[in-house]
Structure 1
């Protein structure tokens, strides 16, 4: 079926080479695939497959390349998501999405920066893991990229009323489980600095003062590196765990405060390579969730 129903900006202009057209839309395609899959390597595989489909397509029959490419990428991501979900059932410990550095200069519009940050936050991506593949696709296309319901229906090959039902169900599920976090980058950076100082100096009291009473710590070592295999809860448990492990430093350690998935993060390197990423989600000026990632296969996005 030709892409005549999907609205979108024509790409490349008359006579543009297929590779040029594809590159113009690569960022959007990668964004869709990453939010769908939570892992950049899987997203890159999907985008590469989308390129192969596009390279072999009848370009003269495609009126809107962007719409064609988003539809192809979304459907490929759906297929990949169903495959990887079975692998995650045997994953050692908690499974977290792959972190991505987002500390590029923010857009001049502060609201646009917040929307960008929220759409890739680790907390949101974790909640999206609990949706069905179709619900996740609809939520990503609608909430993160603002696609109209008619366009999403065409992308997924579903009736528009069914897409609206999926969107409503997904939104209610996300709203019931997602926690709202502080959006002030300056506040987040200040808390990260104080958090890092407390850990570095062994200041348990100072660390506990930064943690919300109901703070959670979610670790992902993938069975390869040390990380809690269960979620830690309460300030006392989380604080004492962080205090205990802060002395276990890797060789040739480097430390930097970065923005990762729209939130302040502490990136620890060993011999120049990422070793540990600690993403801090804050609410009301206190750390309400700590994501601790040590699985080396997931840290390439912060190198």
Structure 2
């Protein structure tokens, strides 16, 4: 049972975007499994995966993921932490998790199973108790929705973080702006306690000014480390073993195309100071 725990959590996290919910889903499924009559179950692994996937879908359907301040963003997972609760290779990228919030729960599950776990449509249909053609339709619909948001594969470019840190720590606004694509989008999640911008901010000039102001007011006296959050470069600001801000960068052609800033204390507890 212990060997499959990470696998189950990975499925649930990719579908929900919440580590807390993923753990709750897995715990609930395993507890029910242990207490049930298992004589009819031929494949324990497949049975548990199917149960977790469908439980996570139902949770995603009925639960409203919102932040009081800013935009709700998925929980960050530091893939460089040895005790990560999920499997690195099968964890969705952070930008993909954000974009998938535009999908309904079933579309999201089909997309994840197909793209993240290489399921065939027949296998997806078996897991979700739907027709194979329906699985294909849901996948195509998901792909179309993600394409509309201009999602493309992005490479990790850690050198950009160093240039970004140098520019912002030296208050070099021109250099900072030059590191951003013209239509960069910034989103921030303050949870229920930290006030941040409402909605998203678009544009290099306004984004550079905001980032510089936030750094000058709240972050310039903090330490930081560079890491990888859900396969994408990130900088984590901290002090006295407490994380204050996690900034995840999405890079295209050696420039920053999107930036996700997490200041929600509850989500930042998931990250450990190095």
Match of 1:79 among 52, 58, 61: 58
Within the candidate set 210, 234, 238, 1:265 is matched to 234
1:93 matched to 2:70: yes
Aligned match of 1:16: none
**Pairs within 5 Å for 1:1-303:** 22-85=1-64, 87-88=65-66, 91-103=68-80, 116=89, 120-183=92-155, 185=156, 188-249=157-218, 253-303=222-272
The CA deviation at 1:25 is 1.2
- Bigger mean CA deviation after superposition, 92-101 or 233-242: 92-101
In structure 2, distance between residues paired with 1:139 and 1:182: 18
Is the Cα contact below 8 Å between 2:69 and 2:196 reproduced in 1?
no
User: What's the TM-score once normalised by structure 2's chain length?
Assistant: 0.91
Once the two structures are TM-superposed, the CA of residue 301 in structure 1 deviates from its matched residue by 2.6
Q: TM-score, normalised by structure 1?
A: 0.82
Runs of 5+ in structure 2 lacking a partner? 83-87
Gap runs ≥5 in structure 1: 1-21, 106-112
1:74 and 1:151 mapped to 2: Cα distance? 13
Post-superposition offset of 1:178: 4.1
2:110/2:138 contact within 8 Å kept: yes
- The alpha carbon displacement at 1:157 in A equals 1.3
Report the Cα offset of residue 152 of structure 1.
Answer: 1.4
Point out the structure with max Rg over C-alpha: 1
Determine if contact 2:69/2:197 at 8 Å carries over to the other structure: no
C-alpha deviation, 1:52, in angstroms = 0.8
- Shift in CA distance, 252/93, structure 1 to aligned 2, threshold 3 Å: closer
Quick one: structure 1 residues 178 and 41, their matched pair in 2 at CA, closer, same or farther if it must change by over 3 Å?
Answer: farther
Counterpart-to-counterpart distance in 2, 1:92 and 1:242 = 17
